[in-house]
């Protein structure tokens, strides 16, 4: 509502208040100490404002609180460990602030916590082992921080997780295979870390309802698991900028719901399978900077929804099929640094722009 100003100290007199939602305004300044008297609060949403200062430790004494969202503000300093005292807390969202220091190890005591988002801060240290005690967790987002060390094997004990992303940090080591036992996972993201090792060959038998797999910009290696063809719900597959090798299996054509396929900057070899043309919902294909050979399959040019096709810097040969004119939605076409021959006129107003 474009309300501006600070929260007045008298706000603390509303001691029967159960819910406070000031989301998406222009409030600024510190949260007044007097708000500690709001002991009946079950919901506090103050996101998308300009609040600053530290997250007040007194919030940890609002024992009835179930939802606390302070995202997209300017909070600084440490996350108060007192928040782990709120036994009823189900949702905690502190994303998009300037919080620093380590994640409180006592967060594992929040037995009723279902959603935790600490992304886009300046947090350091490691991922706490104690998270495994918060067994009701369904969403865990720690992306865009400065966390380091290994991913705890104990994360695999969170059998209710459907969203796990710890992208853009400084994690090392391998991805614990225990995580691939969380059959409820729909989104799994560890992109932009320093992870190594390979993926389990039965990945999709373990994660049958996976929709998004984000593993780009790591040091992962080995072959692409053939079992990926059994991730029938998969919509985004991002394995780019790793050290994967071997062929792109023809079984990839079974991922009928796939919309985005990023396999660039790896060491994939052999020909692009014709079956890729069966992915009729694809919007983006990225296979640049690999060691792919053979000609570009004509079947690709039947994917009418395709907007980006990047195959540059491979060992592709042959001429460009006239069927490329079928890609009427195409906006980006990258075929340089190959061994393609012939002359092809492309009539596509989108590409001209």
Interatomic CA distance for residues 350 and 291, integer angstroms:
29
> Which pTM value belongs to this model?
0.94
Domain membership flag for residue 116: no
Q: How confident is the model at residue 351 (pLDDT cuts 50, 70, 90)?
A: low
User: Could you give the CA distance from residue 237 to residue 188 in angstroms, rounded to a whole number?
Assistant: 10
Q: Which residue has the tokens 């910009």?
A: 217
CA 344, CA 353: separation in Å to the nearest integer? 18
Residue 244 lies in a domain: yes
For residue 230, the enclosing domain spans: 198-353
- Band (352; pLDDT cuts 50, 70, 90): very low
Instruction: State the Cα–Cα distance between residues 323 and 256, nearest whole angstrom.
Output: 21
Question: Into how many domains does the chain fold?
Answer: 1
Instruction: Measure the CA–CA gap between 41 and 49, rounded to whole angstroms.
Output: 20
Phi-psi category of 26—alpha, beta or left, where left has phi over 0 and alpha has psi -120 to 50?
alpha
Per-residue model confidence (pLDDT) at position 347 = 59
User: 349: part of which helix (H) or strand (E)?
Assistant: helix 349-352
pLDDT, residue 226, reads 84
Tokens coding 265: 């900057």
The CATH number of residue 204's host domain is 3.80.10.10
The pLDDT assigned to 353 comes to 44
Pairwise CA distance, residues 101 & 79, whole Å: 8
Report how far apart, in Å, the C-alpha atoms of 65 and of each of 47, 62, 88, 114, 219 are: 16, 6, 6, 14, 42
Which one, of 145, 254, 132, lies nearest residue 193 by Cα?
145
Q: Is residue 39 part of a domain?
A: no
Residue-wise DSSP of 202-222:
THHHH-TT--EEE--SSEEEE
What is the tens place of the pLDDT at every residue in 261-290?
Answer: 999 999 999 999 999 999 999 999 999 999
Q: Is 128 helix (H, G, I), strand (E, B) or coil?
A: coil
Half-sphere exposure (Cβ direction) of 252: Cα atoms closer than 13 Å = 23
Tell me how far CA of residue 179 lies from CA of 6, 10, 140, 175, in angstroms: 44, 48, 13, 8
Please check whether residue 247 lies inside any domain of the structure: yes
> For residue 227, what pLDDT band results from cuts at 50, 70 and 90?
confident
Instruction: Tell me the C-alpha distance between 36 and 69, whole Å.
Output: 16
Is there a domain that residue 82 lies in?
no
Q: Cα separation of 73 and 198, whole Å?
A: 39
In a domain, 57, yes or no: no
Report if residue 192 sits inside a domain.
no
The answer to whether position 226 is within a domain reads yes
With contact defined as beta carbons under 8 Å apart, do 45 and 17 qualify? no
**pLDDT above 80 (res 1):** yes
């Amino acid at each position: 509502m474009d309300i501006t100003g600070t929260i007045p100290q008298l706000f603390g007199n509303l001691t029967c208040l159960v819910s406070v939602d000031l989301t998406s305004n222009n409030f600024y300044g510190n949260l007044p100490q007097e708000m500690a008297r709001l002991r009946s609060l079950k919901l506090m949403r103050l996101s998308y404002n300009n609040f600053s200062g530290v997250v007040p430790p007194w919030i940890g004494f609002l024992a009835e609180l179930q939802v606390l969202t302070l995202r997209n503000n300017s909070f600084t300093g440490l996350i108060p460990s007192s928040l782990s005292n709120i036994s009823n807390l189900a949702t905690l969202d502190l994303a998009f602030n300037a919080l620093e220091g380590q994640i409180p190890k006592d967060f594992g005591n929040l037995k009723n916590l279902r959603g935790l988002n600490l992304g886009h801060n300046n947090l350091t240290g490691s991922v706490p082992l104690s998270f495994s005690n918060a067994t009701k967790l369904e969403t865990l987002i720690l992306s865009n921080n400065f966390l380091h060390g290994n991913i705890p094997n104990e994360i695999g004990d969170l059998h209710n997780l459907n969203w796990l992303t710890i992208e853009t940090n400084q994690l090392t080591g391998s991805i614990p295979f225990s995580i691939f036992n969380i059959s409820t996972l729909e989104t799994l993201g560890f992109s932009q870390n320093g992870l190594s090792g390979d993926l389990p060959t039965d990945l999709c038998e373990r994660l049958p309802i996976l929709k998004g797999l984000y593993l780009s910009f790591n040091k992962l290696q080995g072959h692409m698991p053939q079992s990926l063809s059994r991730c029938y719900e998969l919509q985004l597959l991002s394995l780019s900028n790793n050290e994967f090798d071997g062929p792109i299996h023809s079984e990839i054509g079974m991922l009928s719901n796939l919309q985005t396929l990023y396999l660039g900057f790896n060491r994939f070899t052999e020909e692009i399978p014709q079956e890729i043309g069966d992915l009729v919902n694809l919007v983006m294909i990225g296979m640049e900077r690999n060691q792919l050979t053979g000609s570009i399959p004509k079947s690709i040019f039947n994917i009418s929804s395709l907007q980006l096709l990047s195959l540059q810097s491979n060992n592709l040969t042959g001429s460009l099929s006239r069927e490329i004119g079928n890609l009427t939605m195409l906006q980006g076409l990258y075929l340089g640094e190959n061994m393609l021959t012939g002359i092809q006129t492309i009539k596509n107003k989108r590409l001209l722009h």
